[in-house]
Structure formats: structure tokens, C-alpha cells
Structure 1
């Protein structure tokens, strides 16, 4: 018989490794994208093209895994094709939200510093509550509303202190708010679209990247990036393409480690881990870029982080209470 203590120890080691992997990949992805979008080594003023190329890399990886069925002994990848009319009709509207979401996120990262990036995109929870009420008619408890109010206050304080420190970017902040809005919309509509892909998250990611490659093209043209690309002189550089491919691989990897962390822990643990990761990311970024922040700036981060963690905890308690309620006899046949 297996030793229960040995099994428990193995489980904790696995959880530790997965959470650590999520932290490393997530933080590395932010720094890699920041380097690509505004670093001097790349120096390409075409953020949408860079984001488009990352979608191309993710699509190639997903296509390869879908063809091979995944990686033996690691994970299986569902088979499917994004070029089916029925699939396109169901998924393309969501893919538009997905495209705008990653575009706004990268545009935000281009114009704001990594330390402020978390605050710039901190309104996702607030938009989730507002859109759930408007679109789904779902009410929110008073304690969760108070958490949202604290998040808004923390966001305002962070913006104010960025302005005081002289590093505030209105354009980057607007992109951050827009990215938070699109992330909320994407999260809500994902629940409606998943049944059409047999609840396969990886298949949905595959389709989203496939359609985003097409959706991004007119956006690149409208953003005036064609002339920038035409005059760019580093397309022949091997180092440039290595950096671009690394960015694309990181974009794919963050999706995998996020799903893996939720699988081996829970959605609540994932939220807590993400919140703690954001705190570590902010500290690392201020040291990496040698930026000095005042007490009020740090207070804004603490307020947003604590409020987000409390909101996640309150939602979990509410879901547990809801699950314990008995189902009325007249509704049992409908469940």
C-alpha cells in the first residue's frame, strides 16, 4: 500500500512546482512583451504587428498539437478545425473580443511601466460585476460591492500618484481600462461559447488565435503600421526573430500554465496566486527598472491587491452557500 504521507507530500510538491511555473512564466511574459513593445533592442513602433505575430506563433503551436493529439505523457490536445462554418459562426464574435483584449493589453504595456501595469488593468473585477448585472441580471452582495469600491479608489490613487511622480500616461491608462473591459466581456461570453466547442478550453484558444490572425490585419492597417514595417531595417536580423518567437511562445505558455494551475488547485487559489504574483511582479519591476515610488503609490497597490483577494474570497463563500441550499421540488426536474 502507498504511504498517505508520501502521496500528500508528492501532491504538495506538484502544486508548488505548478504555481512556481505559473509565476515564472507570467512574470517573464510581461517583461518579454515590454521589451518587444518599447525596448531599444527591437525598436519597432508597430505594437499590433507584434501582437499579431504572437498569435501566429500560438496558432502554429496549437495546429501542431491538434494534429499530433498533444504531447504524450504530458497532456492531450483535442482535434478540431477552425475553418468549419458552424464553428466560425459561433466563435468569431468571441474572437473579436479576444483580439481587442490582447491588443489593448499590449498597447497598455507599451505606454505604461511594468510597475504600473497591474494598477492600469485593475478594473477587471469592477467590470465583471457591472457587466454581470447589465447582461446577466446577476446581483452582487454588498460586501463584494465594497471591495469593488476599494479597487476603484486604489486605481484612482495609483493614477494620481503616477501623475505626481511624472510617469503617468493617459493613453496607456485608457488602453488598460479598455483591456479590462474587454477581458470582462470575454470572460462572460466564453461561458456561452464553450458548449459549441465541447467545453474544450484549448480548442477555443486554437480557434481564437486562428481568427485573430485575420482580424488583426485591418487593425494593423488602420493603426498606420504598414509604413513603419516597410521602413523597418531589422527584419533580416536573427536576434529580432528569436525575440519575436520567444514572445509568441510565452503567449502560448501563459495560457497553458494558467489552465494547469486551476486544474491542480482551484479557481480561488488561482486568483490568490495571481494577486500575489502581481505584487511580486510590481516589486521586481521597480527594482529592475530602478524606479523609486512613494508611500501613497505603494498604498494604491496594496489597496487593489487586498480588495481583489477579498472579493475572490467573498465570491467563493457565496458560491459555497448557494450550493448548500436545497433545490425546491418544483425545480428538481429542470436541473
Structure 2
């Protein structure tokens, strides 16, 4: 998934809770102050890493393993922030990047297929994070690149260059070796990771197909996708039994303001990833985005090993390195192809 061209590295923005900005580069990196670029990259790192670690902590460290409800609540928080931001933009020019909230049923029907893909992507993503260690999380969801190439050919009829296919081969090899070497292996985690990867790839394609319905305005799309996702996801929360189990067995947690503050914070970071990606696209280069995505994945793996003390076998470590290298190489290939056009 890439919110700029539909062919991303597969690691830089998959944690986002909302359909992030699909904007064209409006300024070259060399025209912006170094301090601004560093600040934008730092903000992206902090927000992106926070999304993953906060979600993992909620679903493992807080004895609240309800991935679907967690996702739904975070979407509600994100919608509230979207409404507040859009309203504030009427009075403060610096916040005017998000237009006033709108919801037209005719447009909503056109956005609905994208939202279905989006809901499946989010649900499977958090379910994957629930069952796998954070050190293995990137590997479990690394096949989004492979699915992107497959779906781009099947849906859009576009072929892929041989270097990009080689990169996908490296990623798949890393996935296979990493899965075999994972000490705390989980078939459920693998299933949800592969499923999430497939919907990540579909999402990147459907974003491009759906933007025309909102006059290519990514923030208007944000309004519809977030609202519809809340509506679509709630039945899943209800029929999965999560809501009834929460109300029956988690009464102490439900009255814990600290827990709700943490849940709300994850919603804030989920919304913040969209702002971070918007700033990166606007103020940095495509190459910087590629490097940042790969670097962030490396930092995420190292931090996970330090914070959660997840055991990493030699094969698992090799698989992680191959998956990260393949993702980074794929991003580099795509960057060179864009520059060469």
C-alpha cells in the first residue's frame, strides 16, 4: 500500500487507522530547511512506532485481547478528532488542510467497497498483532508487496519489472525462513498477517480507484471512509462475541480511566499517522520516504526485542533481515522507476 502511487515499500504506513493523504509532491526536499525535514521525519517515527507498541501493549499487557473492539474504538476517537480539526480549520488557517465534515449518501455508496477493504485490513492487522510478537510482526505482514504486484496485474493489468519481482522473492524467502524460525510461532498470527497483507495491497489499489468520487481530495475521502468503517466494523464486534464478553467479564477494566486514556491515546496516534504521512509527502522526497520506512521497520524490530524481550532464533533473525532488505530494495526499485519516468 502506498498512498501516493499504490506501490509502496509495504512497511512505511500500514499501521495507519485512516486512509492517509494521497497527494502529489508539491515541493522538493532541497527547498526545505534541514531542521524542518528532521522534525517531520522525527514526528513520523514517533507516531508510527507508537501505533504498533501501544496496540500491542493494550492487547497483551493490559489483559484486554479484544482486537476488533480496540480497532472500532480507535476509529471513533479518530472521527471525533477529524470533526474537531475540520471545525477548527474554519477559524485557524494553519489547520485548514482538512475541509469541513461532509457525508453524502450517493458518495458514500461509491466509497463503500473501499471501506470494506479498509475494515478487513484493520481488523486482520490488529488480530495479527494480537497473536505474534512485535519482532515478528513486520515479517508476518511483509507479503503486502507480493500481493500488490499480483493484484496490480490482475485488477489493473499492469506488469512489474524484474528487479521488483526479485525484491518480492527476497521478501517471500524472508517470510518463509522467519516463520519457520519463529520461536513463539502462531498459525493464527500467520493467517491474519497474510490476510492483512492482501487487504493492504487491495486498499492501495482501491484508494486510487475511489478518489475520483471525492474530486481527488484525500481529506474528503477520510470523512467517508472513517464514518463508514465505524458502521461496518460494529457488527463484527457484536457478532464476534467480543462486546458481550467485555460487558460480562471486564467490568473492572471498563471503569479504569487509565485504560480508557491509553485506548484514546492509540486513537490519537492512529489519526496522527495521517498527518505525519501528509507532512512527509509534502516536505521530503520519495527517496527519504523509502529510507524512513525501512529504517522505521528496523528500529521497530530492535525496540521490540529490547522492550518485550522476545526471543529471536538465528533463522528468525535471518528471516527478519531478508524481509526488511527485500522491502527496502523494493522501495528503492520503485523510486528509481519513478525518477526514470
TM-score above 0.5: yes
Assess if the C-alpha contact under 8 Å between 1:158 and 1:297 holds in 2.
Answer: yes
2:87 matched to 1:67? yes
Q: Return the alpha-carbon distance in structure 1 between the equivalents of residues 254 and 56 of structure 2.
A: 19
Which residue of structure 2 lines up, in the alignment, with residue 176 of structure 1? 193
Assess if the C-alpha contact under 8 Å between 1:46 and 1:228 holds in 2.
Answer: no
Following TM superposition, the consecutive aligned residue runs of length 4 or more in structure 1 with deviations greater than 4 angstroms are 7-10
2:200 matched to 1:200? no
Assess if the C-alpha contact under 8 Å between 1:104 and 1:175 holds in 2.
Answer: yes
Deviation readout 1:68-112 (Å, 9 max, x if unpaired): 326543552112412x12211111111111111111111110111
Residue 235 of structure 1 and its aligned partner are, at CA, apart by 1.6
Residue 10 of structure 1 and its aligned partner are, at CA, apart by 6.2
2:120 matched to 1:100? yes
Which residue of structure 1 lines up, in the alignment, with residue 8 of structure 2? none
Residue 260 of structure 1 and its aligned partner are, at CA, apart by 1.3
Q: Return the alpha-carbon distance in structure 2 between the equivalents of residues 237 and 306 of structure 1.
A: 42
Q: 1:86 aligns with which of 82, 102, 106?
A: 106
1:237-276 correspondence runs (5 A): 237-276=256-295
Q: In structure 2, list runs of 5 or more residues that go unmatched.
A: 1-28
Residue 185 of structure 1 and its aligned partner are, at CA, apart by 0.4
Q: Return the alpha-carbon distance in structure 2 between the equivalents of residues 271 and 316 of structure 1.
A: 8
Greater relative contact order structure (CA < 8 Å, 6+ sep): 2
Deviation readout 1:275-296 (Å, 9 max, x if unpaired): 1100011001101112332333
Q: Could you say which structure has the larger radius of gyration?
A: 1
Which residue of structure 2 lines up, in the alignment, with residue 329 of structure 1? none
Which residue of structure 2 lines up, in the alignment, with residue 76 of structure 1? 97
Assess if the C-alpha contact under 8 Å between 1:262 and 1:269 holds in 2.
Answer: no
Assess if the C-alpha contact under 8 Å between 2:238 and 2:244 holds in 1.
Answer: no
Which residue of structure 2 lines up, in the alignment, with residue 331 of structure 1? none
Residue 274 of structure 1 and its aligned partner are, at CA, apart by 1.0
Deviation readout 1:150-196 (Å, 9 max, x if unpaired): 1100000100010xx2x011101111111111111010010011122
User: Which region of structure 1 is more displaced relative to structure 2, 256-265 or 177-186?
Assistant: 256-265
Residue 265 of structure 1 and its aligned partner are, at CA, apart by 1.2
SS in 2 for 1:139: coil
How many residues align? The count is: 310
Residues 201, 176 of structure 1: alpha-carbon distance in 2 compared, 3 angstrom cutoff: same
2:70 matched to 1:50? yes
Residue 317 of structure 1 and its aligned partner are, at CA, apart by 2.1
Assess if the C-alpha contact under 8 Å between 2:32 and 2:283 holds in 1.
Answer: no
SS in 2 for 1:73: helix
Residue 244 of structure 1 and its aligned partner are, at CA, apart by 1.2
Q: Return the alpha-carbon distance in structure 2 between the equivalents of residues 236 and 108 of structure 1.
A: 27
Q: 1:24 aligns with which of 41, 46, 57?
A: 46
Q: Return the alpha-carbon distance in structure 1 between the equivalents of residues 36 and 328 of structure 2.
A: 23
Which residue of structure 2 lines up, in the alignment, with residue 37 of structure 1? 59
Residue 120 of structure 1 and its aligned partner are, at CA, apart by 0.8
Q: In structure 1, list runs of 5 or more residues that go unmatched.
A: 1-6, 324-335
Residue 240 of structure 1 and its aligned partner are, at CA, apart by 1.7
Q: Return the alpha-carbon distance in structure 2 between the equivalents of residues 246 and 121 of structure 1.
A: 24
Assess if the C-alpha contact under 8 Å between 2:181 and 2:314 holds in 1.
Answer: no
Which residue of structure 2 lines up, in the alignment, with residue 155 of structure 1? 175
User: Which region of structure 1 is more displaced relative to structure 2, 289-298 or 68-77?
Assistant: 68-77
Q: Return the alpha-carbon distance in structure 2 between the equivalents of residues 190 and 238 of structure 1.
A: 36
CA-atom RMSD, angstroms? 1.8
